[in-house]
Chains A and B, each alone.
Chain A
Amino acid sequence: MFLPARMRKLKIITLDQYSDSVVRSLHEEGVTQIDDISERIQQDAEWRQILKPSRATPYTGRVSSLLMKTSGILDFLGSVAAEEKGLRDTIREFINPPMFEKREVEELDTESLIERAEETLGRVESETRVMEEKLNELDSERSAVESSLSVAEKLKDFDIDFSDLQDSEYITGIAGRITAENLPELREKLAEITEELIVSDKEGENRDERVLIIVTLKKHADSIASVLRRMEFERFEISELRGRPSEIISSSKTRLEEISRERQEIISKLRDINAEWEDELLVLKEQLEIEKERNEVFSHFGETRKTVMLEAWVPLKEADRVIAVVEESSEGHCVTDLEEPDPEEVPVLLDNPRFAKPYETFVEMYSPLKYNEIDPTIFMAFVFPFFFGFCLTDAGYGIIDALIGFILYRGLGKVNNFMRNFGIIMMSCGVWAFILGMVTNGFIGDFFPRFLNITLPTVIPAIDAFVNPQNILIMALTVGVLHINFGLILGARNNIRLGNMRDALGSQIVWLILELGIILYLLGGMIVGAPVIVLAFAMLIYYNGLFGLMDISGFLGTLLSYARLLALCLSTGGIAMTVNILTGLSYEMIPVIGVVLAPIIFVFGHIANNAFQSLGAFINSLRLHYVEFFAQFYMGGKNKFNAFRAERNFTKIRR
């Protein structure tokens, strides 16, 4: 419980024909991590004589491409079939998300699965392909019509049939836009080129720009184009336009409406197809993902002519069961060997009781642990919510946070493990905020005394936050001293266990001695305390050099950092009190509107304060762990256990 899960290295040799079934059973069990031994075989001469590295099975490529195809169809159907969700639906899904009932599937070998996948995908594609193509055609037609419409709208003041402007044997037509400022100069330059041209201009969308149509002889087209480029002329694409602008505008609008109707029809058909096939495709996708992992993992193995060898990490308490599973799936045709591992290469799997599990995420976010060091998850499970509660110290806000946590736990938590864990953390944090709020006189700020003239009966006067903040500061610092000392003890234990006695004395024990000296000095005076303090200083200099004395200010800073518990406690209450004061002022001082305004200020003010303060409490509680607590002992490793596990969210195997 206080250490990561004890691991063993399991070596398995089995006959070729059983390798597939062994891999399948290990994958379904999901408690081992398969090591890649192919590289070792290539590098180690002795191993190379006996074994050669295996390869992923020949099916891998086909399974991967079928998986991609399935994901592609699911994405396509999902994107076109997605309906706009209203706020109410979003909230309903948050509180009570739709559950997918796992479908029973038969255990298929790779070939049968490929066959089934091809058949299913063939049937779905036969229905969707035509519609997908039609949808693409409509989309490209829509963008063409839209661009014609946009050009026609820009040229709407010209009463010209665009068919007449199309390039003919001798004539060419150009349309575009230029700044009003450049127009006279352009006219001059064009006149210099030729007089065989017509330039007609109208006011553009903005006052400072003019829209032009130029008709000229084809032989002048190049030189005119080069002048237009120099004059920053923006050319419109008119080669596709036929008819007068007003006709184009009305026909384009009609066509766009038709396109939108046609699209809608196709989309509604696709929605029906999605409703019919989505579950089937999700099941297929999951089966293909699992199959792909199984086929790929063979590249981690070694092989001889008739046998396959693999190495897996397995938690000690699961080892017997895993060996039994391997024996059963290979019908006894296997050799297994369980080895005590080298601590440096063991992948670390955290192993905590259920109530502490949610906090493993925080520890893993910091850094993977070393195999032989203390796992602080369980301590964090106790202290994190307490710190959160200390920072928030408002019973009303605590109730709201706990309720949000409960909704997360019972709602989204059912389908999302992260949300479930987060819900549990929020609930315990909320409970602590409630308890500490009740004793320090924080319930939606000073709601009870201010508006109802009632003092909460649970308040302990000595730690009433706004009457005796100095006592809360003392509490915060005491909690800090205890927390840090606990960290120092853990650090000393880690160092001693790993044989780093010098580090244990110079980095951890020295501070415990210094604290002891200060306590003795305070209790018994100079004669009792001074020798111990001098000893601590001597140790500090001996182990860390003269600069070690500088660490004293750092250590003091670490302790003082716990004062933030007081700061955040007072700031929650202070801002809540301000919201209450403003509510009271608006009710009393603003006639009529004040009665409406006051509840709005009250509700939104407290929602915002709770949101900000809870975020602050969360971040600062996390920070006190990461920066102040973990720094005393956390060593950190590099290997995290990565289970070879068939993730089944939509399927279960029929037994």
Chain B
Amino acid sequence: MVEITLGTALAAIGAGVAVGFAGLGSGLGQGIAAAGSVGAVAEDPDMFARGIIFAALSETQAIYGFLIAILLLVFSGLLGGGKGLDVTAGLVAVGAGAAIGFAGLGSGMGQGITSASSVGAVAEDPDMFARGVIFAALSETQAIYGFLIAILLLVFGGILGG
């Protein structure tokens, strides 16, 4: 049994929040977008590739969450067996996890809703594809903010690269 410091345990909470909530948002969003795509593909089988692209858009939030979680696991010593974190760094890790987790939750849901509508619009008018992607991409900004803050917290909190 590996000795887990309190700081490392806190980082584990951070990792859980990061991937859990980002995955929640991304999953809901992707579900909404995929539901829209299924309908579009039933109307026009050529919509499959474009439907997949729109459904894949809301995957990003889960990837961000997953990435922060992996970074937290590796740099807190849980994965790969490095040295553990102290309590202060552990609290920073919770903050980083919460940043991407909650930002990903909102962003993923929003993106899914827009993607589903965009799929419908593209099914009606294929020229709408690029504009559909743009609209769907708008709500990714929040996840980017969350991800950026998470990375900054990890770097300046001394967890990453320190």
Contacts and interface: CB of A to CB of B under 8 A. Distances in A.
B38 interface: no
Contacts of A366: 130
A155 to B, nearest CB: 37
A223 interface: no
Contacts of B60: 564, 567, 616, 620
Interface string A605-623: 0000000100110011011
Given A469-B151, A626-B133, A561 B64 contact: no
Interface string B6-43: 00000000000000000000000000000000000000
A612 B130 contact: no
Nearest to A581: B79
B79 A567 contact: no
B71 interface: yes
A564 B144 contact: yes
A36 B126 CA distance: 25
Contact of B129 (A365, A564, A570, A627): A365
B147 A467 contact: no
Interface string A560-586: 110110111011001101100100000
Most buried by A among B129, B131, B144: B144
A563 B67 CA distance: 14
Nearest to A367: B130
B160 interface: yes
Contact of B133 (A571, A578, A623): A623
Given A560-B145, A574-B71, A612-B59, A469 B134 contact: no
A574 B67 contact: yes
A470 interface: yes
A612 B67 CA distance: 14
Interface string B88-111: 000000000000000000000000
A469 B141 contact: no
A473 interface: yes
Interface residues of B, number: 32
A367 B134 CA distance: 12
B67 A571 contact: yes
A468 B161 CA distance: 6
Contacts of A367: 130-131
A560 B56 contact: no
Contact of A616 (B63, B71, B145, B155): B63
Interface in B115-162: 129-131, 133-134, 137-138, 140-141, 144-145, 147-148, 151, 155, 160-161
Contacts of B133: 619, 622-623, 626-627
Contacts of A612: 56, 59
Contact of A578 (B53, B70, B141): B70
Contacts of B161: 467-470
A122 interface: no
A531 interface: no
A515 B60 CA distance: 30
Interface of B: 52-53, 56-57, 59-60, 63-64, 66-67, 70-71, 74, 79-80, 129-131, 133-134, 137-138, 140-141, 144-145, 147-148, 151, 155, 160-161
Interface of A: 365-367, 466-470, 473, 557, 560-561, 563-564, 566-568, 570-571, 574-575, 577-578, 581, 612, 615-616, 619-620, 622-623, 626-627
22 contacts: A365-B129, A367-B130, A468-B161, A469-B161, A470-B151, A560-B141, A560-B144, A561-B140, A564-B60, A567-B63, A567-B67, A567-B147, A571-B67, A577-B70, A581-B79, A581-B80, A619-B57, A619-B133, A623-B133, A623-B140, A627-B133, A627-B137
Instruction: Please provide the 6 A-B residue pairs with the shortest distance between their CB atoms, ordered closest to farther.
Output: A366-B130, A571-B67, A571-B63, A574-B70, A470-B155, A623-B137
